[in-house]
Amino acid sequence: MSAATETKTEANTKTVENATCTFCGCLCDDMVLTVDVDAHKITKAKNACVLGKALFLSHEEEDRPFALIDGKPATLKEGVEEAAQILTNARFPMFYGMSDTTCEAQRQNVALVDMVGGTIDSTTSVCHGPTGMALQGVGESTATLGEIKNRADLVIYWGGNPAESLPRHFARYAVTAKGMYTPRRKKDRTIVNVDVRRTKSTPVADIFIQVKIGADFELLWALRALVKGRKVAPDIEKRTGVSLETMQDLVERMKNCRYGVLFFGMGLSMTRGRHFNAAAILSLASDLNEYTHFIATPMRGHGNVSGADMVVSWQTGYPFAVNFSRGYPKFNPGEFTATDMFARGDADAGLILAADPGSNFSQYAIDHMKKIPMIVLDPKLTHTAKLAKVAITTSHYGINTGGTAYRSDGVPIELRPCLESKYPSDEEVIRAIYKRVEQLLKAKKKTKSANNKRRKAA
């Protein structure tokens, strides 16, 4: 960290400027954090929204053991040893999580799964995995958020509620932000909200369009037809809850704007139609490029879930749900996605890095996790950590440890930690496990070949 951004203001406080909040996909990098060094606490988080404030101000390093093995306190070394033994002896280990950690840790995690021939998946598979699959079918027209801030005069929020999940999305990027060609902020933009019900985000919109539950795909497809100049029967209203007139009005606005954006949330990617919905909205934006510049982009939640997609993609060629049991990467969502692997009872061990599937996976999956040896790396004693054979306490990324996180639009940001921690980072723990597993596998290979020789000799 440079001296310019960290200043000691008084004997016992310091300020860290330009720090990044990793709470949501906005990844705001304008935090000004005041730290009470003696009390080991963050006392002020200037520029943070309510969620960000909660993250920083409530941060307290719990006094937990470095590791728990079968619920009993253990040292870090013991925890690493136990984890390494589990992974060495597993035939089909499942690695999952990675949304709340740095790319540096993610990179080591993929190296580890590659070595043990396991399966890896990130939380992408339970949020915008379908969007990734849609991309593979139809492509996408996308942009970094700054381009949207500077140019977008038509902004459509579809199936998402940024007011609550991405609180500064409006102010920093797309509604009240002041950009190069949008100097009058909201006055230079038309905001549309499409959703199955009114949300906290609806009041910001100039136009609200309420679509029937489960009819997003039909609405998107009708809009595509209208954009292409095809006829759509008026009874489309019965199916979608949206009148043809409203659709025609929206289509005219879309075709005639200078730079249009469709932001979409899990209301599309995780409801009936899933990757068909995502493909429909991506295609709608692409079609509109015949008339004007148009973008479609998912709104993503967790801090660095985009980084997990990035890392897994550059290391394996595929974004999530990747299996290495043949010694090379194979991709198959549904087969290698974590929730399915656990629910089917396929995995014989698990490593959960910086996520809590024990709190949101299906009961079938959780029941299976209870049966197999699980390894959990997390700053907190999560639901998953409670059911784990080994739970290793790690420091908090972004607060205690630096590294890289990717914003939902692919902009990478270097994190600026502000507090020391006695706990190791995720990256350090994964590296330690890697080293130990490597030794164990080599030893295993040796005894195997020695046994083979003996057998041959006999």
Regarding 118 and contact with ligand SF4 (CB under 6 A), the answer is no
| # of chain residues touching other proteins (CB under 8 A) | 69
Tell me the DSSP string of 35-47.
EETTTTEEEEEET
Tokens of 457: 């000799």
Regarding 436 and contact with other proteins (CB under 8 A), the answer is no
Binding mask 242-271 toward ligand SF4 (x if CB under 6 A, else -) reads ------------------------------
**Judged by CB under 8 A, which of 80, 270, 295, 369 binds other proteins?**
295
Least CB distance to other proteins at residue 225 (A): 17
- C-beta closer to ligand SF4: residue 23 or 423: 23
Regarding 142 and contact with other proteins (CB under 8 A), the answer is yes
State which of positions 180-199 bind other proteins (CB under 8 A): 180-181
Distance CA 387, CA 164 (A): 31
How does DSSP classify residue 211?
A: P
- C-beta closer to other proteins: residue 89 or 150: 150
Regarding 115 and contact with other proteins (CB under 8 A), the answer is yes
167 binds, among other proteins, ligand SF4, none (CB under 5 to 8 A by kind): ligand SF4
Those residues with Cβ within 8 angstroms of residue 275's Cβ, 6 or more apart along the chain or in another chain: 130, 131, 133, 134, 137, 269
Tokens of 75: 């040292």
Q: How many CB atoms lie within 10 A of CB 38?
A: 9
**Judged by CB under 8 A, which of 73, 317, 334, 345 binds other proteins?**
317
Those residues with Cβ within 8 angstroms of residue 192's Cβ, 6 or more apart along the chain or in another chain: 154, 155, 156, 157, 205, 206, 207, 208, 209, 250, 253
Least CB distance to ligand SF4 at residue 55 (A): 7
Binding mask 157-186 toward ligand SF4 (x if CB under 6 A, else -) reads ---------xxx------------------
Alpha helices in 241-273 (DSSP H): 244-256, 266-269
Regarding 413 and contact with ligand SF4 (CB under 6 A), the answer is no
Amino acid making up residue 301? G
Those residues with Cβ within 8 angstroms of residue 290's Cβ, 6 or more apart along the chain or in another chain: none
- C-beta closer to ligand SF4: residue 120 or 166: 166
265 binds, among ligand SF4, other proteins, none (CB under 5 to 8 A by kind): none
Binding mask 393-422 toward other proteins (x if CB under 8 A, else -) reads ---------x-x-x---xxxxx--------
21 binds, among ligand SF4, other proteins, none (CB under 5 to 8 A by kind): ligand SF4
| # of chain residues touching ligand SF4 (CB under 6 A) | 13
Distance CA 435, CA 428 (A): 11
49 binds, among other proteins, ligand SF4, none (CB under 5 to 8 A by kind): ligand SF4
Distance CA 384, CA 391 (A): 9
CA dist 7 to 15, 32, 46, 229, 400, Å? 5, 11, 15, 60, 17
| Contact indicator for 258, 180 with CB cutoff of 8 Å | no
Q: Whose CB is nearest to ligand SF4?
A: 52
Regarding 24 and contact with ligand SF4 (CB under 6 A), the answer is yes
Q: From 65-73, 197-205, 239-247, 309-317, give the range in contact with other proteins by CB under 8 A.
A: 309-317
Which secondary-structure segment (H or E) carries 35?
Answer: strand 31-36
Q: From 44-52, 107-115, 356-364, 406-414, give the range in contact with ligand SF4 by CB under 6 A.
A: 44-52
Regarding 26 and contact with ligand SF4 (CB under 6 A), the answer is yes
Tokens of 107: 């990179």
Tokens of 235: 């009874």
Distance CA 70, CA 79 (A): 10
Q: Select from 449, 344, 402, 360 the least CA-distant residue to 94.
A: 344
3-state class (DSSP) for residue 302? coil
Tokens of 410: 């692919």
Question: Footprint of ligand SF4 on this chain (CB under 6 A)?
Answer: 21, 23-24, 26-28, 48-49, 51-52, 166-168
Question: Footprint of other proteins on this chain (CB under 8 A)?
Answer: 2, 4-5, 17-18, 20, 29-30, 103, 107, 111, 114-115, 132, 135-147, 149-151, 172-173, 178-181, 258-259, 286, 289, 291-293, 295, 309-310, 313-319, 324, 326-329, 331, 402, 404, 406, 410-414, 438, 445
